[in-house]
Structure 1
Amino acid sequence: MPPVLHPVISGSSGSFSIIVSPSGILLEALSAVLSSYLTRSLYICGNYPVYLTKNIVDHNKIRVRRALTAYQIITILEEANESLILFEHDRTWYQDAPELIPIIGEVCKRKANEPQLIILFSDRLDQWLSQIDPYSSRVVYYLDTLAKPKKKQSQGVAHQNTLEGLW
């Protein structure tokens, strides 16, 4: 049975899915899929994982890889042999090399045919994610994420998350 990410979202092996959803739903979905998936998984994130918390991590079942550039994303995806790849969208990856977006999309599509389940997720839609979605098997948008984000006044950073705190 495919893992259920959320009552209305499920994943199946051999697919590349994109989920754009509010943070709360993403946290629920990640917790559900990581607790139900029996094999080792790969979690790809930027400088630090935004959604991966101590509460949903089983260190024996998940490997975390950080990527700071689009080139590193391609390398990590090419080397991945896990049957589940969770891919936390980071907008900063594509700023220096937007021409790599189609290559990343193609690699995800090819890896899904091996068969691996690849889930790229974000809390909002942006121009980079829109360029990747033609390569996916399925795209799920929650209406809240399609609205323009409200501007917040900067209040500074209360704390910084790192991978160090997870292990």
Structure 2
Amino acid sequence: MNQASSSQENLYGTLLSENVIGVIRDHYVTFHLDMDVDGSDNSFMKVNLQRQSNSPTESPRKSYLKATKTVAKTEKDVQIKLKLYDPSEFHMINPSKRTRVGNPVGYKLVPGGTAASLLDLDDPPQKKGAFTNNQIWVTPYNRSEQWAGGLFVDQSTGEDTLAV
């Protein structure tokens, strides 16, 4: 285990010193936002951005962006895996309150750098951390659901995560 050339020895990490491997692992950070946007009548709106092609007679431009807004109806609608080539915007809105120009009041959720788990879905650590199956989850407020991975992730078998 002291030869850096052995591919088997580097399978689970990087050889740091004789008989010492820095293991490959991951960490995830979650945020719990309890939103009351101008009252408690809130909804989650996803805005899908798509390329819309133009005919040459319409414009010198060949394409532009089209926004299609969808208000989530179920929790399943808001289990979102972020995708580079399927861009979307995410908004927490109050559909019963309007801005001066008629849009629903709200906040735009802007995800920063994100990651996805590479573990098999049936792997015990992935079952415990099943909240990493999606980058965005939206659920109605429930006092007993404060933790994405359940109360004690390391002791869980996955029965109390967001994925249940």
* Same topology, TM > 0.5: no
- Structure 1 length as normaliser, TM-score? 0.24
| Higher normalized helix content (fraction of residues) | 1
